Structure 1
Amino acid sequence: MKIHFWGVRGSIPSPILSSQIQAKINAVVQRITPQDLESFDSRERFVANLPDWIYGTVGGNSPCIQLVTDEGKELILDAGSGIRVMGKNSTIPEDNHYSFFFSHFHWDHICGLPFFDFAFNPNVKIDIYSPFEHAREFLAQQMPSVNLFPVLWENFSRNFEFHTMEPGVTYTIDGIQVTSCKVSHPGDSYSYSFVDGSKKFVYATDIELMDMGDCNEEHLEAVFRDADVVVLDSQYTLEEAQSKEKWGHSAFCYAIDFAVKMNIKNVYLYHHEPTYDDKKLNSILSAAKWYSAYISQNKINVELAVEGADVEI
């Protein structure tokens, strides 16, 4: 399996600002020395050694992940604004088919669907899976009339087929095993595990890990236990998570504690707070790595989910 991050922000798309670009340029100028400019090689070394928050960006599109199975089947996890970018920068699968899995239907996770170019291709078939019985109605509410969106839902969705999943039940979809579980979030949200051969990947956005009392422990175990890679909601700092109790999101330290409990090998911090810039997000990553090594004292690998990145599982 391989995943590609097309959108990693939470709540609302948050494109990089001119002021943030200027801050990156200023940081470069403050670091450079005459020796760094002496030759082509020295300039290349200087650029290569810049901190990640200066050299690149985590990205501003809202949630969308592309999962490609070992047999080449394509699964799409949520359809935030990142799916528009996917439609502009990828090709249609050979079998003209996508399987979509929605964690829930809050706007940041569905706002890109009407802008997904391949959905307008009459040869493309899209199967949509979720445990929500009214998934079709939730998506249709984005496109109820031409006064709100120029394409009507009934025209847009002609090649869509909807499937309702039962949490805790394992389904074989596109040749891999898929299981869902309900997690704590206003209006409910669902996490999914995808098992392809010996590898297990979990998509777990929009989850408040300190408020899981009403969740089915058996279902949680089935989805999360012994996962190789988990993309996990870590929207807040600890201070902000405590001040936003019941908002349905987590802090990085809660994510790591949960990963220890479930024997997870690799955690990708996800659903980044839209007000956090690249420098702050990279400081959160540093804090998370420190917390994992010295407080939890475990060998979990912790990374940031970064738009445009691939992860081989």
Structure 2
Amino acid sequence: MRITCWGSRGSIPVSGPEYIRYGGDTTCLEIRPRSGEVVIVDAGTGIRRLGNALVAEGRLSCHFIFTHAHWDHLMGFPFFKPLYRSDAHFYMHRCPFASKFVETMLSRVMSPPNFPVRYTDIQASISYEEACPTCFSIGSLSVSPIALRHPNSGSGYKFMEDGKTFVFLTDNELGFPHPGGPPVEDYVRFCQGADLLIHDAEYTPEEYRQTIEWGHSVYTDVLDLAMQAGVKRLGLFHLNQDRTDDEVDVMVSTCRSILKSRGSTIDCFAVGVHQVFDI
């Protein structure tokens, strides 16, 4: 599978010379399995550039998966150009949400007075895939959800194809047991041996003293999870909106020093816009 990051910032998009390397757009990932489907995870502001690229490529059939309903993961949806193409078709996966949650979530983003175009005015054809409690497939890709430790809940995902595993856990607070969120041991099992783990790493230990219960992790806790699970590569994600590229580099350098001191071979890095992973 090929994974492309179109946005990795948290909470709100940012711009400026201090955000060039990792980008300023909020969460959006594109996954392309061997079978050829386009799978989009979350619709943060990064989805605008993705939509432009898909139109240019002529790829107008997409599968959508959402982690949760917070604004920074949805705010780009109305600016996804294929929405306004009558020859486009989208498959919205409700898993693991119940009933018509996805329809309601997306229609609210485009409801007056928030946006001038109504959800009902979308020209693309939209199908809603039924919810499932454990796992589902998109072409050759197998997808398994796990509950997140985050306010208002949400889901992380494990994507598997041809013996390779990618785990995506954004907006996940390892240091606090939010209602409905599993113990850390469950995440260790969920991530065990993953070829790539991309995980929320919003805070430093100092910042976390003031932000506990906000739904995001200390990057050193994420590093501990990766080592316990024996993952091969770790991408730090949901980069704080106030953290400059240089400060992100310091965070990565600290992680690499810790890994070296413990004899770990994990490849640790921060996830930036347009970064591509082939696993």
Structure 1 length as normaliser, TM-score?
0.81
Match of 1:16 in 2: 16
1:236 to 186, 193, 203: 203
Q: What amino acid is the match of 2:218?
A: A
**C-alpha offsets along residues 210-234 of structure 1, whole Å, 9 cap, x if unaligned?**
1247534686466422211011100
From the superposition, tell whether residues 274 and 256 of structure 1 become closer, same or farther in structure 2 (CA, over 3 Å). same
Query: Are 1:72 and 2:40 matched, yes or no?
Result: no
Structure 2 distance, partners of 1:222, 1:180, is 13
- Write out aligned runs for 1:71-110 (5 A): 71-91=35-55, 96-110=60-74
- Write out aligned runs for 1:185-224 (5 A): 185-212=150-177, 214-216=180-182, 220=187, 223-224=190-191
Deviation at 1:158? 5.4
Structure 1 distance, partners of 2:203, 2:80, is 29
Q: What amino acid is the match of 1:4?
A: T
Match of 2:108 in 1: 141
Q: How many residues align?
A: 274
**C-alpha offsets along residues 175-197 of structure 1, whole Å, 9 cap, x if unaligned?**
21100010100000210011011
Query: Are 1:253 and 2:220 matched, yes or no?
Result: yes
Deviation at 1:254? 0.6
Contact 1:7 1:82 in 2 (8 A): yes
Q: Percent identity?
A: 27
Match of 1:61 in 2: 25
Contact 1:5 1:305 in 2 (8 A): yes
Structure 2 distance, partners of 1:75, 1:192, is 13
Query: Are 1:263 and 2:230 matched, yes or no?
Result: yes
Query: Are 1:275 and 2:239 matched, yes or no?
Result: no
Deviation at 1:138? 1.4
Match of 2:117 in 1: 151
Q: What amino acid is the match of 1:225?
A: Q
Contact 1:6 1:65 in 2 (8 A): yes
Give 1 or 2: higher helix fraction. 1
Deviation at 1:121? 1.4
Q: What amino acid is the match of 1:282?
A: D
Q: What amino acid is the match of 1:210?
A: G
Match of 2:139 in 1: 174
Q: What amino acid is the match of 2:7?
A: G
Structure 2 distance, partners of 1:229, 1:158, is 33
Classify the secondary structure of the residue corresponding to 2:247.
helix
Match of 1:128 in 2: 92
From the superposition, tell whether residues 193 and 166 of structure 1 become closer, same or farther in structure 2 (CA, over 3 Å). same
**Which stretch has the larger CA shift, 275-284 or 236-245?**
236-245
Deviation at 1:90? 3.6
**Which stretch has the larger CA shift, 122-131 or 181-190?**
122-131
Deviation at 1:247? 0.5
Structure 2 distance, partners of 1:141, 1:219, is 33
Contact 1:238 1:251 in 2 (8 A): yes
Deviation at 1:71? 2.2
Deviation at 1:203? 1.2
* Structure 1 unmatched ranges of 5 or more: 21-52
Structure 1 distance, partners of 2:73, 2:170, is 10
From the superposition, tell whether residues 281 and 190 of structure 1 become closer, same or farther in structure 2 (CA, over 3 Å). same
* C-alpha RMSD of matched pairs (Å): 2.1
**C-alpha offsets along residues 240-289 of structure 1, whole Å, 9 cap, x if unaligned?**
12321100001211111011222211110000000111111111111111
